[in-house]
């Protein structure tokens, strides 16, 4: 695999990791804009705009966009989060020029009023769909509570009210301000050549307006708290908790990743053996989420409401033990073996490499090969984890409950 | 496409091994299908096979539950166990060099499980938790209940059983299921990736060659549920499920049926997405897929939408299913072919998807299609051929189930 990088005159970053041994090529436009970059007046606009991009440009109608992607057999989608909007696709190498041209073209969308009005219904339906998924309701409320007063607490989907009130003109303004060349990274992984990428980028992206966007990235200092959302007819109780962890720029993030595997992986972890294996809980996981300037550990517990108090006490006891005594050598080795295999398996598909490639670049302007990731993983020591825990101990600063319980 | 080598070997006891070495990958995966799925659950004991699927990995050979799990993790095995209708399915992926050790652990799991009393309770409690969780997720519940209404028992029954049935399941009854159903005759092991054929064959013979055969298991058959129904749920959306008859994977017209469903729901330019979501903004999620058992198949459709738009969503969806026989444009079929071609090639980048595909092919077809075989079948599809299929198997006699605050009018179904 060979890595290349450049920057177009207008500021667009272009990176590629080329691998002639695979059959396909994946490309992604990583736009550094998400819900944290929105004002309250346009809450949900980043995600709504992601949908509107597929409604086409002056050159392509919505039908054209859907048709052409299918004609070239692209596997494509888009995703919006707190800090980024990603448009990506995997394609056979011979169709790369067509898929590239289409993606690049629709990233300057027409934002037609009639399309906007129609798609607004779809967004409202998407909000309704997530409302029927209790773990999503818990996550949405947790982010708002934990990061209250910090931009990371702003909802990705927005609310029924904010989406209903949003105008097409506001969305045009947001696109004009945020979709600037300097705010976008184009990443390509897989079977293609660098000269072709450069020529496609020059041809289709060099006219994009220059400029970059600022972002306030001070570390969140969550006040914490408890929010209970009672749904009397539900069967299970869903609990989510967050507590501060290293940011995307903090070198301790590697230790945080391995720590969450040891403590809270979906199988073989301390939470698994204590809660899931004996059948006390349906799920008990610990994840690490890294953001620009902030980070969080996130605990998820789902079980019968009657068992919640006992299960939460078990989790607290595990965290207290880890905070006090750290982790054991054999746990670390086991987790390293587990994660190494995941890294290699994921790297065998261009789409698997794309997210790592783009993520490293937009957060740190850094290229990390599979070999780099494996070497870092193998190099983590129990002492690194101890250092992490001294600064970022496990805990439950903020808690959200969704289910039959009226209080915790 | 590089030439595919697929080697098939049947052991004297009836276990079939299908191996596909793949170049340019470091990983390998295997998919083990063992007879004894939920269709063979004893009467009123739905969930027996599911309980076994969980319990069987809780200690095997000399290793207790935790040591076994650690041994697999140390080998970097990414694993999944699931209960199918016909089989218990075990899939595992790791670096090719770790496959021999992983296979030997799976031989213990399958042939020498401890099935200890102290591990039984945890297995059952876990299933109970997941059954309760389904009640809170109307979309998942809908698809489970739709199957119950469009297939006769046992084929439509949920593999997880029900809370009432779970209460009847004992360690003894699950052990009896293991003794009665799990066997090498009819078992399939698909292996794909960075492996050597001869080395794999030798390993499999050594680990499974002396596994004794058992007679076929019996199953309890019964009627399907009501054709039209509604389940009340205080959900935000109304969840709509529609099913109708199609054909099975082994049918000579299978790819025509696949294309017919592809034209309805194969990509974002397909009809359901275009008419229900893009033109009318009725929902976020709408789809149809072809579901195949060994001897029959169905098209299963889903749409989720807010209460006020549910009736229109249902009516528009049904109309799209019904009007497929009125005509198909050649470019619609061409797009299905393009998507298929691309998927076939990309499959070669995933050892797990190849291992699963070759095992599934052997189950359904008693042979393995190469990617070239499939591409030829897809290339040969014509508009008139697909339309003939649609006329022979029209979308009608629908099974309809809704979950949500209010029922819908479903007269035309």
Same domain membership, residue A201 and residue A140? yes
Inter-chain contact B282–A125, Cβ cutoff 8 Å?
yes
Min Cα–Cα distance to chain A from B237, Å: 6
Q: Is residue A85 part of a domain?
A: yes
Partner B contacted by A60 (CB < 8 A): no
If asked whether residues A142 and A103 sit together in one domain, one would say yes
| B54 contacts in chain A (CB < 8 Å) | none
**Of the candidates A71, A82, A88, the residue with the CA atom closest to the CA atom of residue A30:** A88
Contact check, Cβ <8 Å, B237/A132: yes
- Chain B interface test: which of A282, A307, A310, A311 (most B C-beta within 10 Å): A282
| CA distance to partner chain B, nearest, from residue A152 (Å) | 25
Query: Domains in chain B, ordered, with CATH?
Result: 7-208 (3.30.830.10), 228-404 (3.30.830.10)
Q: Answer yes or no: do B132 and A282 touch at CB < 8 A.
A: yes
Neighboring chain B residues of A280 at a CB cutoff of 8 Å: 125
- How far apart (Å, rounded) are the C-alpha atoms in residues A379 and A32? 31
Q: Are residues A198 and A279 in the same domain?
A: no
CA-CA distance, B289 to A172, in Å (whole number)? 37
Cβ A337–B75 below 8 Å, yes or no? yes
* Whether residues A165 and A251 fall in one domain: no
**Residue A202 neighbours by CB distance under 10 Å:** 15
Inter-residue contact B33 to B87 (CB < 8 Å): yes
Q: Token digits for A285?
A: 């996981």
Q: Is residue A212 part of a domain?
A: no
In whole angstroms, give the CA distance from residue B263 to residue B381: 13
A183 and A298 part of one domain: no
Choose the mutation target among A80, A89, A125 for the interface with B, i.e. most B CBs under 10 Å: A125
A161 and A98 within one domain: yes
Q: CA B293 to CA A399: how far, in whole Å?
A: 44
CA dist., res. B173 & res. B176, Å (int):
5
- Indicate yes or no: CB of A341 within 8 angstroms of CB of B121: no
Are residue A8 and residue A144 in the same domain, yes or no? yes
> What ipTM did this prediction achieve?
0.93
User: Are A229 and A166 in the same domain?
Assistant: no
The partner residue sitting opposite A337, judged by closest CB among B73, B239, B346, is: B73
For residue A180, the domain's CATH number is 3.30.830.10
Please answer whether residues A144 and A153 qualify as being in contact, where contact means their C-beta atoms are separated by less than 8 angstroms.
yes
CB contact under 8 A, B95 and A276: no
Tens digit of each residue's pLDDT, chain B (413 residues): 567 899 999 999 999 999 999 988 999 999 999 999 999 999 999 999 999 999 999 999 999 999 999 999 999 999 999 999 999 999 999 999 999 999 999 999 999 999 999 999 999 999 999 999 999 999 999 999 999 999 999 999 999 999 999 999 999 999 999 999 999 999 999 999 999 999 999 999 999 999 999 999 889 999 999 999 999 999 999 999 999 999 999 999 999 999 999 999 999 999 999 999 999 999 999 999 999 999 999 999 999 999 999 999 999 999 999 999 999 999 999 999 999 999 999 988 999 999 999 999 999 999 999 999 999 999 999 999 999 999 999 999 999 999 999 999 997 55
For residue B279, give the nearest of A264, A289, A117, A84 by alpha carbon.
A117
Report the sign of the C-alpha dihedral through residues B175, B179, B184, B185, in that order.
negative
Do A170 and A249 fall into the same domain? no
**Do B129 and A304 make contact, defined as CB atoms within 8 angstroms?**
yes
Query: Is the full-model pTM beyond 0.90?
Result: yes
Q: Are residues A229 and A200 in the same domain?
A: no
A102 and A176 in a single domain? The answer is yes
Cβ neighbours of A91 in B, within 8 Å: 342
Chain B residues closer than 8 Å to A125 by CB:
237, 281-285, 304-306, 309
Instruction: Please choose, from the candidates A395, A348, A386, the residue with its C-alpha nearest in 3D space to the C-alpha of residue A258.
Output: A386
Going from the C-alpha of B302 to that of each of A58, A223, B32, B133, B146, the distances in angstroms are 33, 42, 30, 20, 10
Domain that holds residue A55: 2-205
Integer Cα distance of B261 and B265 in angstroms: 6
Residues with Cβ within 8 Å of A265's Cβ and at least 6 positions away in sequence, in order, are: A272, A285, A286, A335, A338
Among B393, B381, B290, B301, CA closest to B341: B381
Instruction: Kindly state the greatest CA–CA separation across chain A.
Output: 62
Contacts of B345 (CB under 8 A, 6+ apart): A23, A24, A92, B1, B371
Q: What is the pLDDT of residue B123?
A: 96
- Looking at the fold, whether A28 and A159 belong to one and the same domain comes out as yes
- Cβ distance of A279 and B25 shorter than 8 Å: no
Contacts of A54 in chain B (CB under 8 A): 268
Closest CA to B72 of A265, A303, A302, A233: A265
CB contact under 8 A, A233 and B73: no
Are B95 and A341 inside 8 Å of each other by CB? yes
Interface probe for A, chosen from B138, B342, B378 (most Cβ of A below 10 Å), is B342
């Amino acid at each position: 695999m060979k890595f290349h990088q450049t920057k177009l005159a207008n500021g667009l970053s272009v990176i590629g990791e080329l691998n002639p041994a695979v059959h396909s090529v994946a490309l992604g436009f990583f736009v550094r804009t998400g819900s944290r970059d929105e004002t309250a007046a346009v809450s949900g606009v980043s995600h709504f705009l992601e949908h509107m991009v597929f409604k086409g440009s002056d050159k392509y109608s919505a039908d054209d966009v859907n048709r052409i992607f299918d004609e070239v057999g692209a596997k494509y989608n888009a995703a919006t989060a707190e800090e980024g909007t990603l448009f990506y696709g995997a394609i056979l190498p011979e169709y790369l020029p067509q898929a590239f041209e289409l993606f690049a073209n629709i990233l300057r969308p027409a934002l037609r009023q009639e399309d906007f009005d129609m798609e607004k219904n779809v967004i409202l339906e998407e909000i309704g769909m997530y409302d029927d998924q209790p773990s999503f309701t818990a996550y949405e409320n947790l982010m708002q509570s934990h990061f209250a007063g910090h931009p990371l607490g702003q909802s990705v989907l927005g609310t029924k009210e904010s989406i209903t009130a949003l105008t097409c003109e506001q969305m045009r303004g947001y696109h004009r301000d945020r979709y600037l060349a300097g705010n976008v990274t184009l990443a390509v992984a897989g079977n293609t050549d660098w000269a072709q990428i450069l020529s496609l980028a020059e041809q289709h992206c060099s006219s994009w307006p220059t400029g970059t966007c600022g972002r306030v990235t001070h570390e969140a200092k969550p006040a914490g708290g408890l929010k209970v959302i009672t749904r009397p007819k539900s069967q299970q109780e869903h609990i989510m908790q967050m507590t501060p962890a290293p940011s995307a720029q903090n070198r301790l993030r590697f230790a945080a990743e391995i720590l969450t595997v040891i403590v809270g992986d979906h199988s073989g972890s301390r939470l698994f053996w204590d809660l899931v294996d004996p059948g006390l809980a349906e799920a008990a996981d610990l994840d690490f989420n890294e953001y620009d300037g902030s980070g969080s550990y996130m605990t998820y517990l789902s079980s019968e409401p009657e068992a919640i108090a006992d299960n939460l006490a078990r989790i607290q006891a595990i965290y207290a033990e880890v905070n006090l005594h750290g982790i054991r050598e054999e746990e670390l080795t086991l987790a390293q073996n587990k994660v190494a295999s995941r890294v290699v398996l994921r790297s065998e598909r261009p789409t698997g490499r794309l997210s790592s490639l783009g993520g490293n670049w937009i957060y740190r302007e850094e290229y990390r090969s599979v070999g780099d990731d494996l070497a870092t993983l193998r190099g983590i020591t129990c002492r690194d984890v101890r250092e992490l825990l001294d600064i970022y101990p496990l805990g439950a600063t903020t808690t959200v409950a969704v289910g039959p319980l009226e209080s915790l | 496409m590089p030439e595919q080598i697929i080697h098939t070997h049947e052991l004297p006891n009836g276990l079939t091994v299908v191996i596909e070495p793949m170049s340019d990958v470091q990983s390998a995966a295997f998919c083990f299908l063992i007879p004894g799925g939920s269709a063979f659950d004893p009467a009123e004991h739905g969930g027996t096979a599911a309980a076994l699927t969980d319990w069987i990995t809780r200690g095997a050979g000399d290793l207790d539950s935790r040591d076994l799990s650690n041994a697999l993790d140390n080998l970097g095995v990414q694993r999944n166990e699931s209960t199918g209708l016909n089989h218990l399915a075990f899939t595992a992926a790791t670096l090719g060099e770790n496959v021999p050790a992983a296979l030997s652990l799976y031989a213990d799991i399958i042939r020498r499980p401890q099935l200890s009393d102290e591990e039984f309770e945890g297995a059952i409690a876990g299933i109970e938790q997941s059954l309760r969780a389904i009640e809170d997720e109307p979309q998942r519940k809908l698809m489970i209940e739709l199957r119950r209404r469009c297939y006769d028992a046992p084929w439509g029954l949920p593999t997880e059983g029900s809370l009432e049935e779970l209460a009847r399941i004992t360690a003894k009854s699950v052990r009896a299921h293991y003794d009665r159903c799990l066997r090498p005759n009819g078992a399939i092991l698909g292996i794909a990736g960075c492996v050597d054929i001869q080395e794999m064959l030798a390993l499999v013979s050594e680990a499974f060659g002396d596994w004794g055969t058992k007679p076929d298991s019996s199953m309890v058959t019964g009627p399907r549920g009501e054709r039209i129904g509604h389940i009340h749920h205080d959900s935000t959306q109304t969840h709509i499920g529609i099913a109708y008859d199609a054909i099975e994977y082994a049918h000579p017209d299978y790819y025509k049926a696949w294309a017919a469903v592809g034209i309805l729901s194969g990509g974002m330019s397909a009809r359901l997405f275009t008419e229900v979501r893009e033109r009318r903004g009725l929902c976020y999620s709408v789809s149809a897929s072809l579901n195949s058992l060994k001897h029959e198949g169905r098209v299963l459709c889903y749409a989720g939408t807010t209460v006020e738009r549910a009736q229109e969503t249902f009516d528009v969806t049904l109309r799209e299913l019904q009007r497929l026989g009125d005509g198909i444009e050649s470019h619609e079929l061409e797009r299905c072919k393009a998507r298929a071609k691309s998927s076939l090639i990309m499959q070669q980048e995933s050892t797990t998807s190849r291992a699963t595909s070759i095992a599934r092919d052997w189950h359904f077809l008693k042979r393995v299609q190469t990617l070239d075989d499939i591409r030829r079948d897809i290339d040969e599809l014509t508009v008139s051929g697909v339309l003939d299929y649609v006329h022979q198997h029209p979308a009608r006699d629908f099974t309809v189930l809704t979950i949500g605050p209010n029922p819908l009018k479903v007269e035309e179904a």
